Chains A and B, each alone.
Chain A
Amino acid sequence: MHVFLSLDWFLLIEKAILISIIIGISLIVAMYETWAERKVAAVIQDRRGPNRAGPGGIFQPLADGLKLFMKEEIVPNLSNKFLFILGPGIAMLTAMMTSAVVPWAGNIHAFGRDIPLQVADVNIGILYIFGVVSMGVYGVMIGGWASNNKFSLLAAIRGASQIISYELAMGLTLIAVLMLTGSLSLRTIVEQQLDHKYYVFYQPVGFIIFLVCAFAECNRTPFDLSEAESELNMGYHQEYSSMKLGFYLFAEYVNMFISSAVMATVFWGGYDIPFLNDAKFGQEHGQNLLAGLELLCLFLKIAFFIFFFIWVRWTIPRFRYDQLMNLGWKALIPLAILNMLVTGFVILFH
């Protein structure tokens, strides 16, 4: 009994509500990303896109989700049953866990408490995201291996080596940013940018490297080597059906959402409202209205990046595997190291 009395119940309830809302929003955003993907693809290819379920095909994601649920669940006979089911679970879990350190807006004031719209403000914020992303590899690897299919295994190993290669360049760009911020906490990084000194203006090369690496980490075209249909049938989720396949596909869209949020937070000022003095506005019109607008602003930035992800997918064809590895190891990593050195020299002699 004593364990339960010593806890701060208000904090627990507050965080539990916040976590459920964020997970709910992530799933809804992921659902409508699929819709947006098909609509944008349609515009680019001069078609109409989904337009049967609801006005403008707005209920299409619900229909797709229902279809995935109703499909037959197949577990291959010679697969490793437990790991086969664990794989998509890990993919989804790691996709969801990254959202914990993203600050969604400033504090709101309710029930006599200042509630920060962030699940955990840990002082290793960026590294936490990095750690969870590196765990995401296991979803792909375990799934591909447990299927007991040569194509799945090859695709899984391809995907995993792609992800760990591009993680290096990503980490090196983050080091350059951290030299400027002096802090790993995402909330501190956003607060430093509140007067419109966005880090993208100080780290343009870093931002571009980060963006390219984000595409590779999310397995998005032009780097979707792990699900290259023309070479490996369906890729690592070849043997999956029903909602287990759905989890893999959904995890990719959640990853896109979270990496858009991270890019907006680290490089584009996070929840800062452009062309507006946030602190002054908060004093004049109240803290809660400000937080609402900040949330809206962050989501607009995220929406732009998601659109960019989709735009690139329907514009640029897939890389070959050796091109992918050459780009990662021989172009991005040296460039990121150079960027880091230049940043260090400028800070030292400025």
Chain B
Amino acid sequence: MSATQFLFWFLSILALFSAIMMVVSKSPVHSVLWLIVVFFAISVHYVLLNAQFLAIVNLIVYAGAIMVLFLFVIMLMNLNAETEPLKNKWLKITGVIGGGALMLVLVAALKDADIRNRIAETNKGEIGLIHNLGMALFKEYVIPFEISSVLFLSAMVGTVVIGKKE
């Protein structure tokens, strides 16, 4: 077992464990913190694939910005385990059915995918480096990229409009 393989297994176990802990934690603040651990583990996976730019952007955007806002909301609303509203039994059942259906779709979609014959390039892939990524984004995919940025702009305008109403 090489060092990379060892890291891969360690990180995968860490990511799965933290993801499960995120779902089962009683306190929402703990859930957010476990989710941050998941993002960390996934970022290090990116580093193993030599996609350093993706790794750090994943950390800055998700763990550094979005999760901080989540924490803001949860901390200010004071959602502790004691003040948790009573859960509806039917809500749990629909949750289980919804999750099961999602898993069924995922398994059906991935069943025929050609994953087995593809080997991840560790330590030598170049696509995740900033230069190549920029080239791909602004040459091949420039129109989808610009459209998604317009989408972000409209979301921003929407936020300002909602904020101004009061």
Which A residues lie at the B interface, using CB under 8 A?
2-3, 6-7, 83, 122-124, 127-128, 130-131, 134-135, 137-138, 141-142, 145, 153, 156-157, 160-161, 164, 167, 184
Q: In this complex, what residue of A is CB-closest to B72?
A: A157
Complex A-B, nearest 8 residue pairs according to Cβ-Cβ distance, in ascending order: A134-B64, A131-B59, A127-B56, A131-B56, A124-B52, A131-B60, A145-B75, A124-B56
B36 touches A (CB below 8 Å): yes
A130 near B60 (CB under 8 angstroms)?
yes
B150 touches A (CB below 8 Å): no
Q: In this complex, what residue of B is CB-closest to A6?
A: B2
Chain A residue contacts of B60, Cβ below 8 A: 127, 130-131, 134
9 contacts across the A-B interface (CB closer than 8 A) = A2-B1, A3-B1, A3-B6, A6-B2, A6-B3, A123-B129, A127-B56, A134-B64, A142-B33
A137 near B64 (CB under 8 angstroms)?
yes
Which B residues between 38 and 68 are near A, CB-CB below 8 angstroms?
Answer: 52-53, 56-57, 59-60, 63-65, 68
Chain A residue contacts of B57, Cβ below 8 A: 127
Interface size range on B against A: 20 to 34
B75 near A157 (CB under 8 angstroms)?
yes
Chain A residue contacts of B129, Cβ below 8 A: 123
In the assembled complex, how far is the CB of residue A279 from the closest CB belonging to chain B, in whole angstroms? Answer: 27
Q: In this complex, what residue of A is CB-closest to B5?
A: A3
Chain A residue contacts of B59, Cβ below 8 A: 131, 134-135
In the assembled complex, how far is the CB of residue B5 from the closest CB belonging to chain A, in whole angstroms? Answer: 8
Chain B residue contacts of A153, Cβ below 8 A: 75
Given A2-B2, A131-B59, A161-B72, 9 further pairs, Cβ under 8 A: A83-B33, A122-B52, A127-B60, A130-B56, A131-B60, A131-B64, A137-B68, A145-B75, A160-B68
In the assembled complex, how far is the CB of residue A144 from the closest CB belonging to chain B, in whole angstroms? Answer: 8
B29 touches A (CB below 8 Å): yes
A145 vs B73: C-alpha distance when bound (angstroms): 12
A164 near B130 (CB under 8 angstroms)?
no
B52 near A123 (CB under 8 angstroms)?
yes
In the assembled complex, how far is the CB of residue B162 from the closest CB belonging to chain A, in whole angstroms? Answer: 17
Given A3-B2, A6-B2, A123-B130, residue A135 in contact with residue B53 (CB < 8 A)? no
Dominant secondary structure of chain A at its interface with chain B: helix
In the assembled complex, how far is the CB of residue B54 from the closest CB belonging to chain A, in whole angstroms? Answer: 10
B71 touches A (CB below 8 Å): yes
Chain B residue contacts of A156, Cβ below 8 A: 75
B76 touches A (CB below 8 Å): yes
**Most chain B Cβ neighbours within 10 Å, of A2, A3, A6, A142:** A3
A123 vs B130: C-alpha distance when bound (angstroms): 8
Chain B residue contacts of A131, Cβ below 8 A: 56, 59-60, 64
Against A, the Cβ 8 Å flags (1 = close, 0 = not) of B115-144 are 000000000000001100000000000000
A32 vs B146: C-alpha distance when bound (angstroms): 50
Given A127-B56, A135-B63, A137-B64, residue A145 in contact with residue B36 (CB < 8 A)? no
Chain B residue contacts of A142, Cβ below 8 A: 33
Given A2-B1, A6-B2, residue A164 in contact with residue B68 (CB < 8 A)? yes
Chain A residue contacts of B76, Cβ below 8 A: 157
In the assembled complex, how far is the CB of residue B135 from the closest CB belonging to chain A, in whole angstroms? Answer: 13
B52 near A141 (CB under 8 angstroms)?
no
In the assembled complex, how far is the CB of residue A242 from the closest CB belonging to chain B, in whole angstroms? Answer: 24
A160 near B72 (CB under 8 angstroms)?
yes
Chain B residue contacts of A161, Cβ below 8 A: 72
Q: In this complex, what residue of B is CB-closest to A126?
A: B56
A7 near B3 (CB under 8 angstroms)?
yes
A3 vs B5: C-alpha distance when bound (angstroms): 9
A2 vs B130: C-alpha distance when bound (angstroms): 34
Which B residues between 1 and 52 are near A, CB-CB below 8 angstroms?
Answer: 1-3, 6, 29, 33, 36, 52
A164 vs B65: C-alpha distance when bound (angstroms): 7
A160 vs B59: C-alpha distance when bound (angstroms): 17
Chain A residue contacts of B29, Cβ below 8 A: 83, 145
Which B residues between 55 and 99 are near A, CB-CB below 8 angstroms?
Answer: 56-57, 59-60, 63-65, 68, 71-72, 75-76
Chain B residue contacts of A6, Cβ below 8 A: 2-3
